[in-house]
Chain A
Amino acid sequence: MTGKIGFILGNEAIVEGALVSGATFFAGYPITPSSEIAERASRRLPQVGGYYLQMEDEIASIAAIIGASIGGAKAFTATSGPGFSLMQENIGLAVMAEVPCVIINVQRSGPSTGLATKPAQADIMQARWGRHGDHSIIAISPSTVQECFDLIIFAFNVAETYRCPVLFMADATVGHLREGCVLRSKDEVEIINRKRPPEGLDEYYPYKADEDLVPPMATLGGHYLARFHSSSHNEKGLPTSSPEEAKDLIKRLYDKIEKNKDKIVKYKTFDVDGSDYLLIAFGGAVRAARQAALDAKKRGLKVGVLQLQTVWPFPAEYVCELAKDKKGVVVPEMNMGQIIGEVRKAVPDAIPVVGANRYDGEPLAPYEIMKALDEVLSL
């Protein structure tokens, strides 16, 4: 597959990227518009000695990939809105027990069963806050088929580095898009594998973190006995109700992501230097935003685009830095306005922030962003 160019679906590129990452286990339950991921995984994984498991529901799917990761595999699942809702409790388990895995949500219009075949970006706050309890989370969002391939590799890398679940927030516009995609080989990309405890320790503490706040993860059947725990636990992996130990654990789980934000946050900018206005978008909406910026240029406006490839943790400091000298900001999203709240929190109050939103199951169009830009101009 070295350097081969494929004309493939975003959903297919996700599977190919996962394979390059070294993923050998997929468990899922078919759901539109993510089913092509399951279909391709079911064909490709057994070819390379991996496993495809079609589980009884999405609860079992996320549970199985958590188990597979504990068992030593790189594992992933794919779903859409209703399935993503069912997975939330066990995504919390992956947070608490510190199990690396990748959960793909090819977003569709909701709520409930909504518009099954139509795109949306309305699960992005659910991605941040869908579980109960305090914690941070990583969410990554692709806007092209190439990014489906490249960013899923990045998603596996950060999951392995920080021992945590990573949410891959695609949407139907990108998942069902067919584009050219360079299918890079293993040698052409950086692949990160989870940290293992050194041999020869007198005693291995399953949840004793190194300086980077991440505990090394033991191989089952290897040198040490491993313990994984969903309840509040101490460094030995034994349950505890001590307020100090509970606080330390919650704080570490939060900090290991928030304090490594500079390594987790990935973004792209287009013509932001010297621009007067800024469009901030993620996923499928980036495509419309970039076209809108080009259209605005023809009208003599200087408009830059910030693409958030990592949406969570939200890069508030960077957004502030970039937006502080602009005359206005537009946030295009295929929802009623979710990330715009984070943008408003981040930028100085004097700068107008306007949303360009669509939530009828149709992809956002450049002219709609232009309309929002006109609103900013009129302020």
Chain B
Amino acid sequence: MSRRSKEVSWKAFLREESLPHQWCAGCGYGVILKSMLYAFEKSGLAPKDVVVVTGIGCWGKADDYLYTNTVHVTHGRALPIATGIKVANPSLKVLALMGDGDSATIGGNHLIHSSRRNIDVTAIIANNLNYGMTGGQYSCTTPLDSRTSTSWYGDPEPALDICRLTETAGASFVARTTVYHVGTIERYILMALSHEGFSLVEVISPCPTYFGRYNKMPKAPIMLNWLKDKAISIERAKNLSEEELSGAIVTGVFADKKGHSFLSRYNEIQARAKKDLEGE
């Protein structure tokens, strides 16, 4: 792919000395990482303006490969830490990189409340539908009945829809795509980066090593085709019944609302408090 040269190239954000990366063959995370770097390049941001907070999991390794400010933290807590960073230093572009475990399972409460708070942070959720780093156990986004290393006879729990949840909770930018639809990853991340308020991009990613292998898709091309077949655009989904959408991956932009972000609201609070102090 030829790219127009920008002031700051995508390579400026990449810690090349840490390559090759540790993700498995066929994993989609390298694709998401590069798409994010392209989005950084197009955004006009410089590495020193960017803070990437990562939690624990395969996608939580992403900070190893980044030449930005990085903060690697405990499992599930990337969002409240990103919240503190952004509030303390609003001039920074703060991202939280989380997997399905980090963001929605152990960290689910923070995901709901970061959405509701509409905090000015960008969440990039790489969803590989299982816990890859610990050997392929089911997470809250594993499809119902799937086989994993802890659901050998089928996952008894239905999957959580991260985008529907966060949209309902108040996130003002929410989008989902898959690693198969590679061009949209960069586009959605770029939209999220320029958004004021809480922005979230979920990317469904192939994990042929665990989720795929346990569910008769042991190779990346099979998983990519599966993602392609399962994906239905949000526009098309609107005309389909719940039954027809069963098991589908609905892709597209779920929410893109302008409105009050946490920081803009808090600026008003500070103005009122200062007035109150002067009146004392």
The chain A residues found within 8 Å of chain B, CB to CB, are: 24-25, 27, 43, 46-47, 49, 51, 53, 55-57, 59-61, 63-73, 75, 89-90, 92-93, 97, 220-222, 224-231, 237-239
Q: Are B77 and A90 in contact (CB under 8 A)?
A: yes
User: Which residues of chain A are near B85, meaning CB under 8 Å?
Assistant: 67-68, 70-71, 220
B84 near A69: Cβ-Cβ < 8 Å = yes
Residues of B within 8 A of A60 (CB): 77, 80, 83, 109-110, 113
Cβ-based interface call for B88 (8 A): yes
Given A49-B270, A67-B80, A67-B83, is A75 in contact with B88 using a C-beta cutoff of 8 Å? Answer: yes
Distance, CA A154 to CA B73, complexed state (A): 27
Do B273 and A228 touch (CB < 8 A)? no
Interface size on B, residues (CB 8 A): 41
* Residues on the A chain within 8 Å of B272, using CB: 46
A25 touches B84 (CB 8 A): yes
Most chain-A CB neighbours within 10 Å: which of B18, B47, B64, B110? B110
- A225 contacts which of B68, B77, B81, B88 (Cβ < 8 Å)? B68
> Do A97 and B73 contact each other (CB < 8 Å), given the known contacts A47-B273, A47-B277, A220-B92?
yes
**Chain A nearest Cβ from B119, distance in angstroms:** 9
Contact with A along B61-76 (1 / 0, CB 8 A): 0011001111111100
The contact of B70 among A27, A57, A72, A227, by CB within 8 Å, is A227
> In the complex, which residues of chain A have a beta carbon less than 8 angstroms from the beta carbon of B81?
63-64, 66-67, 70
19 pairs of residues in contact across A and B, judged by CB atoms under 8 Å:
A25-B88, A46-B273, A51-B87, A53-B87, A55-B113, A56-B113, A59-B77, A60-B83, A60-B109, A65-B84, A67-B71, A89-B74, A220-B69, A221-B89, A227-B63, A227-B69, A229-B70, A230-B72, A230-B73
B70 to chain A, nearest CB (A): 5
In whole angstroms, how far apart are the Cα atoms of A226 and B86 in the complex? 15
Q: Which of B48, B64, B113, B270 contacts A239 (CB 8 A)?
A: B64
Residue numbers in A under 8 Å from B277 (CB-CB): 47
Q: Is B276 in the interface zone, CB < 8 Å from A? A: yes
Besides A65-B84, A229-B72, 11 more A-B contacts (Cβ < 8 Å) are: A47-B276, A57-B109, A60-B77, A63-B83, A68-B87, A69-B88, A70-B71, A220-B85, A226-B69, A229-B70, A230-B74
Q: Determine the chain B residues whose CB is within 8 A of the CB of A237 once the complex forms.
A: 70
| Residues 36-79 of chain B, each 1 if its beta carbon lies under 8 Å from chain A, else 0 | 00000000000111010100000000011001111111100100
Q: Which listed residue (A47, A59, A65) contacts B274, Cβ 8 A?
A: A47
Indicate whether B152 reaches chain A with its CB closer than 8 angstroms: no
A221 CB contact (under 8 Å) in B64, B92, B110: B92
Residues of A within 8 A of B69 (CB): 220-221, 225-227
Secondary structure of the A side of the interface? mixed
> Smallest CB–CB gap between B25 and chain A, Å?
21
- Closest A-chain residue to B93, C-beta based? A221
Taking Cβ atoms with an 8 Å cutoff, the residues of B that contact A are 18, 47-49, 51, 53, 63-64, 67-74, 77, 80-89, 91-92, 109-110, 112-113, 266, 269-270, 272-274, 276-277
Grouping DSSP codes into helix (H, G, I), strand (E, B) and loop, the B interface class, with mixed when no group exceeds half, is helix
Q: Is the CB of B87 within 8 A of A221?
A: no
Which B residues are in CB contact (< 8 Å) with A68?
A: 84-85, 87-88
Chain B residues with CB under 8 A of A57: 109
Shortest CB distance A25–B (Å): 6
How many Å lie between the Cα of A49 and that of B113 in the bound state? 24
Q: Are B48 and A63 in contact (CB under 8 A)?
A: no
Residues of B within 8 A of A49 (CB): 270, 274
Task: Please measure, in the bound complex, the distance between the C-alpha atom of A92 and the C-alpha atom of B73, giving whole angstroms.
Answer: 10
Bound-complex Cα distance A94 to B141 (A)? 30
Question: Are A225 and B48 neighbours in the complex by a CB distance under 8 Å?
Answer: yes
Taking a contact as CB atoms under 8 Å apart, the answer to whether A72 and B72 are in contact is no
Q: Most chain-A Cβ atoms within 10 A of its Cβ — which of B64, B68, B84, B110?
A: B84
A50 nearest in chain B by CB position: B270
Determine the chain B residues whose CB is within 8 A of the CB of A59 once the complex forms.
Answer: 77, 80
Indicate if the CB atoms of A73 and B88 lie closer than 8 Å.
yes
CB distance from A15 to the nearest CB of B (A): 14
Minimum CB distance partner of B268 in chain A: A46
Report how far A110 CA is from B13 CA in the complex, Å: 49
Residues of A within 8 A of B67 (CB): 225
Q: What residues of A have a CB within 8 angstroms of the CB of B51 in the complex?
A: 220
